[in-house]
Amino acid sequence: MSKRRKEIRCPKCNSVIGEPIKTWQLISPFPDKKGRITITIMGVFECPECGYRWRGVYSKIKVGGSSVEVGGREIEEEERRPPKIIELDLSDLDEEDFED
């Protein structure tokens, strides 16, 4: 299965740009409705034809919750961890612990 990335084009001359010169990440401080955090990968681009430089979004990833979303396509989590079960026996507690 090949993964096709949207072509990045120069806003001045409309020529196709390759990879960004520099990238960095911006992490959203708040989750969305599904409990996922958005990580936006920004980039500095330079057109090989006209030399115009600009900054823009290179990619977005949503992680957390029960799924992961990469570039607008949701990928379901394959394995879910079973919940941790904690059992308490109330007969093990002393009555002294409940007195004022």
Instruction: Tell me the pLDDT tens digit for each residue of 35-87.
Output: 888 999 999 999 998 889 999 998 888 887 766 667 666 665 555 567 788 88
Average pLDDT over residues 10-15: 90
Evaluate if residue 91 carries a pLDDT over 60.
yes
DSSP class of residue 5? P
Residues 53 and 13: their CA atoms lie apart, in Å, by: 12
Report residue 91: phi and psi, to 5°. -70, -20
What is the pTM for the complete model shown? 0.57
Q: 91 or 42, which is more confident?
A: 42
Nearest to 7 by CA among 58, 44, 55, 43: 58
Residues 65 and 63: their CA atoms lie apart, in Å, by: 7
